[in-house]
Amino acid sequence: MTKIDVVVREVGMRDGLQSIKFIMPTDKKLEWARRETEAGVTEIEVASFVPPKLLPQMADAAEVVRGALEIPGLTVSALVPNLKGAERAVEQGAHKLNCVMSVSEKHNQANVRRSVQESIDEFGRIVGFVRGLPSNRRPQMCAGLATSFGCTIEGDVPEAHVLTVVEKVAALGVDEMAIADTVGYGNPAQVRRIFSGARKIAGKLPIAAHFHDTRGLGLANVVAALDAGVTAFDASLGGFGGCPYAPGASGNVDMEDLVFMLESMGLKTGVDLARLLEVRKFIESVLPTDTFAGAVAVAGLPKNYRSAASRAAA
């Protein structure tokens, strides 16, 4: 098997679908996951364990996780907002819990009615819960730090504050961290500073990057994060998942463009780009929305496109 240089993780099934009104049928979600896994994506955030009342798009979270676990080779992750969500996800056997809090005090209060410190404490309880499980039922616990590059309510989020939260959360003994530009405020200089700082603090703890392309800087921020040593990135097929309050605004970094960039740079993702573009066509056929983003799907692959693996072999 080819060594992977950079892991790309699909989050559109959660971050994308939760931002549109349309509720994707469970079987289509699972077909999406299966097809994208076959294209070479090895980790998908398939659902969110928030109350279905708040997010009807995620009401089938349990069923989706169970179905996704049947897909060979796929790491099945799920977003959990708190201990209760973590318990529900573990009940279904999710491989990884993506626990999320906002680093911005006001954003966290608005979202989960907790202070940042209270959310860190909740993370601690989730770590305790996970560690208490028998090893064959124990998922990975990834701590997601939302609004780390700015906040629609507070504006600036001081970098020193972000790094303090990184330090506290790393000390809890999580398995992984994801630092997120939830609202598309980040810029490459800031990305380089924050990820360099975080990696220094967190030592060997893997740190992933989650960027939104809201202001067109998604891939530019990926370049900066690569420079800072980041090797795992979230993205969504078709780049959808824009803010519902900004019509036409793009969402997560577009998966096809991300894979195109990384593979062209000689960084192996394990993803077959031609097959990935077919999977995009599949979700375009399912989703009743014209808000797909992404340039490669529109412009086509360059005449000289080669995967990183075939570049290395040449």
Q: Within its chain, how far is the Cα of 93 from the centroid?
A: 19
- Output the smallest distance, CB 26 to its own copies, in A: 31
C-alpha dihedral, 153 to 157 to 163 to 168, nearest 10°: -30
The whole-angstrom separation of Cα 236 and Cα 256 is 8
- Output the smallest distance, CB 219 to its own copies, in A: 4
Distant-in-sequence, close-in-space partners of 285: CB < 8 Å, separation ≥ 6: none
Of the candidate spans 53-61, 91-99, 146-154, 275-283, the one that interacts with its own copies by CB under 8 A turns out to be 146-154
Integer-rounded Cα radius of gyration of the chain: 18
Distant-in-sequence, close-in-space partners of 175: CB < 8 Å, separation ≥ 6: 140, 141, 142, 205, 206
DSSP 3-state of 86: helix
155-187 in b/e burial notation, b at 16+ Cβ within 10 A? eebeeeebbebbebbbebebbbbbbbbbbbbbe
6 binds its own copies (CB under 8 A): no
Residues forming beta bridges with residue 77, ordered by sequence position:
45, 96
77 binds its own copies (CB under 8 A): no
Note whether 176 and 140 are within 8 A (CB). yes
For 93: left if phi > 0, alpha if psi spans -120 to 50, otherwise beta; the answer is left
| 37 or 214: CB nearest its own copies | 214
Interface residue with its own copies, options 260, 272, 291, 309 (CB under 8 A):
260
Please say whether the dihedral angle defined by the alpha carbons of residues 144, 149, 153 and 158, taken in this order, is positive or negative.
positive
- Output the smallest distance, CB 156 to its own copies, in A: 5
Interface residue with its own copies, options 222, 244, 288, 291 (CB under 8 A):
222
Of the candidate spans 12-20, 106-114, 120-128, 297-305, the one that interacts with its own copies by CB under 8 A turns out to be 297-305
188 binds its own copies (CB under 8 A): yes
Interface residue with its own copies, options 18, 190, 252, 291 (CB under 8 A):
190
Of the candidate spans 15-23, 85-93, 112-120, 215-223, the one that interacts with its own copies by CB under 8 A turns out to be 215-223
The whole-angstrom separation of Cα 2 and Cα 239 is 26
213 binds its own copies (CB under 8 A): yes
219 binds its own copies (CB under 8 A): yes
Q: Return the closest-CA partner of residue 78 out of 121, 139, 7.
A: 139
261 binds its own copies (CB under 8 A): yes
The whole-angstrom separation of Cα 293 and Cα 243 is 13
| 99 or 309: CB nearest its own copies | 309
215 binds its own copies (CB under 8 A): yes
Interface residue with its own copies, options 266, 274, 281, 310 (CB under 8 A):
266
Active site residue 243: yes
- Output the smallest distance, CB 45 to its own copies, in A: 22
| 60 or 213: CB nearest its own copies | 213
- Output the smallest distance, CB 214 to its own copies, in A: 5
| 53 or 245: CB nearest its own copies | 245
Catalytic residues: 243
Residues near its own copies (CB under 8 A): 150-156, 183-185, 187-190, 213-217, 219-220, 222-224, 227, 243, 246, 248-250, 254, 257, 260-261, 264-266, 294-296, 298-300, 302-304
